[in-house]
Amino acid sequence: MEAAPIMLNEEEVRKRLRMEDLIPAIADALRDLSTGTVLQPLRTVLSISPHNGFLGVMPASGRALGAKLVTFYPQNKEVPTHHAMILLFRPETGEPLAVMDGRLITEMRTAAASAVATNLLARADTKTLTILGSGVQARSHLEALRLVRSFGEVKVWSPRNAGRFAQEFNVHVARSAEEAVREADIIVVATSAITPILRGEWLAPGVHVNAVGATRPNWRELDDEVLHRSTIYVESREPALKESGDIIAADKELIEIGEVIAGRRSGRKSTDQITLFKSVGVAVEDIATAELVLKANASAPRAGGN
């Protein structure tokens, strides 16, 4: 008789998932994606027009086999904007192994991917981090980026809740996005903006930008000047060109971050170069994270055990 798949809720996922372990796992997944050892079709997105939401279906097969079902309701106020479930299967037989909540996985793997890019692309002497946004991605990025760079100052700006975020994490509040961004060494754009919120005229030479929002072809979070001034890195060219309004508008060469990890393409070439990692989120990141959780679950002590 087949064993029933393991079921893990968000709190159980949280107990088993550490950002320190996740960042190298995401680096491995992105290298595998760029070197052709991952099967990953474009995500299917269903628009739930009556409720201003979206349902995405994201399968992948690499070191693990699985799929994520994710909803995105950007107007949610009392509940998170993203909800997800991830299913893992045994690659050799197709047997279901696990079903786990994917909301936290989505939150953490997004920041982990930005940390991978930051470690490869940001200058080694960075001192100032700016975060545009104050939601779950702002929180997760703060945790992840502190693992790959040291900061003397962290600034936050958002249309709402920046003060609360700053108080919780002991960082500085900026009065405007421009004030936050000028002179920053690393910038995270993690808002729900659908029109440009970051302007290229504000960018200091040598800055690295992680942009993780505006994942629809008609949405933007970066203006044309940001795109013009930046060397652009992505997780995967095909989904970025289909799903990101910023990448569509850029109309320029894209470098996959996995190609840099594999040594096939260059990262930063000069101290003044502006680098941009534009993330849309890809299924292999979710599946790699879920596999990490499943392995941690297998080694976790059982209640009543010795």
pLDDT, residue 192, reads: 86
pLDDT, residue 82, reads: 87
CB–CB of 245/218 below 8 Å?
Answer: yes
pLDDT, residue 107, reads: 95
Q: How many CB atoms are closer than 10 A to CB 295?
A: 14
CB–CB of 167/49 below 8 Å?
Answer: no
Q: How confident is the model at residue 155 (pLDDT cuts 50, 70, 90)?
A: very high
Mean pLDDT of the chain: 94
pLDDT, residue 81, reads: 87
When pLDDT is averaged across residues 283-305 and rounded to a whole number, the result is 86
CB–CB of 216/237 below 8 Å?
Answer: no
- CA 299/CA 19 separation, integer angstroms: 18
pLDDT at 172 over 90: yes
Cα distances (angstroms) measured from residue 235 to each of 5, 68, 128: 30, 17, 25
- Structural tokens at position 179: 């004030």
Contacts of 172 (CB under 8 A, 6+ apart): 153, 154, 155, 156, 166
Sign of dihedral through CA atoms 232, 237, 238, 243? negative
Residue ranges covered by each domain of the chain? 6-106+284-299, 123-282
When pLDDT is averaged across residues 125-134 and rounded to a whole number, the result is 96
Q: Which amino acid is at 68?
A: K
Per-position b or e across 259-292, b if 16+ CB within 10 A of its CB = bbbeeeeebbeeeebbbbbbbbbbbbbbbbbbbb
When pLDDT is averaged across residues 135-146 and rounded to a whole number, the result is 96
pLDDT, residue 303, reads: 53
> What phi and psi, each to the nearest 5 degrees, are found at residue 15?
-65, -20
The CATH number of 6-106+284-299 is: 3.30.1780.10
Percent of the chain with pLDDT over 90: 89
pLDDT tens per residue, range 68-118: 999 999 889 888 888 999 999 999 999 999 999 999 999 999 999 999 999
pLDDT at 59 over 70: yes
HSE, side-chain direction, 13 A CA sphere, residue 93: 5
pLDDT tens per residue, range 176-227: 999 999 999 999 999 989 999 999 999 999 999 999 998 889 999 999 999 9
pLDDT tens per residue, range 220-251: 999 999 999 999 999 999 999 999 999 999 99
- CA 207/CA 226 separation, integer angstroms: 11
Cα distances (angstroms) measured from residue 137 to each of 59, 103, 248: 23, 11, 23
pLDDT, residue 53, reads: 94
The CATH number of 123-282 is: 3.40.50.720
Write down how long the chain is.
306
pLDDT, residue 305, reads: 47
Query: Minimal CA–CA distance to 111: which of 82, 147, 140, 133?
Result: 140
pLDDT, residue 300, reads: 74
DSSP SS3 for 160: coil
pLDDT, residue 274, reads: 98
pLDDT, residue 267, reads: 94
pLDDT, residue 88, reads: 98
Query: Minimal CA–CA distance to 283: which of 26, 80, 53, 97?
Result: 26
pLDDT, residue 78, reads: 86
DSSP SS3 for 225: helix
